[in-house]
């Protein structure tokens, strides 16, 4: 047998084994790319801090009824599909949102805390949510008020947007409205009065998930 004929015999014998391997290699090179990035999961516990402005009137940080507010929060989230549910405890201090009672008397809201429920929609790393709950605040007597400082409670509603980053860090902006109802006070001379106390706050915060 000539060398030429021997070559064709060997080639014919190896071809059935070589063709499947070549086909698999071509299929792998031209297979559609698979994206492995999973949607962001908001589930889990978190803790953080916030800073903003609190006011007894329209939420204007430059109004004379406004004051700086700062504090912290802890909470937890549960996610089902794109829906995110959660609960949060918050505590903060404000320099004193002012409530004018007339005749040189006023009340100032200082310490406050809130228990809130949250529900929102996840747009991957962006969470748009609403919040509602109950808030307690301390009202400090100033000027001609002779009654003692007191704590009052009221309902809270609000909403915000939160953006997640790497390392479990997220940043958010949130607005809260709280209505404490009528807060009573006694002025010098024994005069009794009250003010319909509401609070507006705009806050920026940072959270860490663990």
CATH assignment of the domain containing 66: 2.40.160.20
* Domain-embedded: residue 81: yes
Task: Per-residue pLDDT tens, the chain, 210 aa: give them.
Answer: 544 444 344 444 444 444 444 444 544 554 444 444 688 999 999 999 999 999 987 766 666 678 899 999 999 999 999 999 999 999 999 987 889 998 889 999 999 999 999 999 999 999 999 999 999 999 999 999 999 999 999 999 999 999 999 999 999 999 999 999 999 999 998 999 999 999 999 999 999 999
Q: In whole angstroms, what is the distance from residue 145 CA to residue 186 CA? A: 6
* H/E stretch holding 17: helix 3-29
* Domain-embedded: residue 203: yes
* Domain-embedded: residue 28: no
Count, in order, helices (H) and strands (E) of the chain: 1, 8
- Residue 20's pLDDT is 46
* Domain-embedded: residue 16: no
* Domain-embedded: residue 39: no
* Domain-embedded: residue 37: no
Contacts of 137 (CB under 8 A, 6+ apart): 109, 110, 111, 112, 151, 152, 153, 154, 178, 180, 199
* Domain-embedded: residue 176: yes
Q: What is the domain range of residue 106?
A: 44-209
* Domain-embedded: residue 97: yes
Contacts 24+ apart (CB under 8 A), 48-51: 48/72, 48/73, 48/74, 48/205, 48/206, 48/207, 48/208, 49/73, 49/205, 49/206, 50/90, 50/92, 50/174, 50/203, 50/204, 50/205, 50/206, 51/203, 51/204, 51/205
- Residue 62's pLDDT is 62
Structural domain count, the chain: 1
Predicted structure pTM score: 0.79
Contacts 24+ apart (CB under 8 A), 17-25: none
């Amino acid at each position: 047998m000539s060398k030429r004929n021997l070559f064709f015999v060997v080639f014919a014998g190896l071809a059935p084994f070589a063709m499947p391997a070549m086909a698999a290699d071509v299929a792998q090179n031209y297979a559609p790319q698979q994206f492995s990035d999973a949607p962001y999961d908001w589930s889990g516990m978190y803790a953080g801090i916030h800073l903003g402005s609190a006011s007894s009137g329209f939420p204007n940080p430059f109004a004379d009824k406004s004051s700086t507010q700062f504090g912290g929060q802890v909470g937890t989230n549960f996610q089902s599909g794109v829906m995110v549910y959660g609960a949060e405890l918050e505590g903060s201090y404000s320099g004193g949102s002012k409530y004018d009672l007339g005749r040189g008397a006023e009340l100032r809201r200082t310490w406050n805390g809130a228990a809130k429920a949250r529900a929102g929609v996840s747009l991957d790393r962006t969470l748009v949510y609403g919040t509602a709950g109950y808030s307690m605040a301390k009202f400090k007597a100033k000027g001609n008020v002779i009654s003692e400082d007191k704590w009052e409670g009221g309902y809270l509603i609000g909403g915000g947007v939160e953006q997640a980053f790497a390392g479990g860090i997220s940043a958010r902006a949130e607005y809260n409205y709280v209505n404490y109802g009528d807060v009573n006070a006694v002025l010098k001379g024994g005069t009794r009065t009250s003010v319909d106390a509401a609070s507006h706050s705009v806050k920026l915060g940072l959270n860490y998930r663990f």
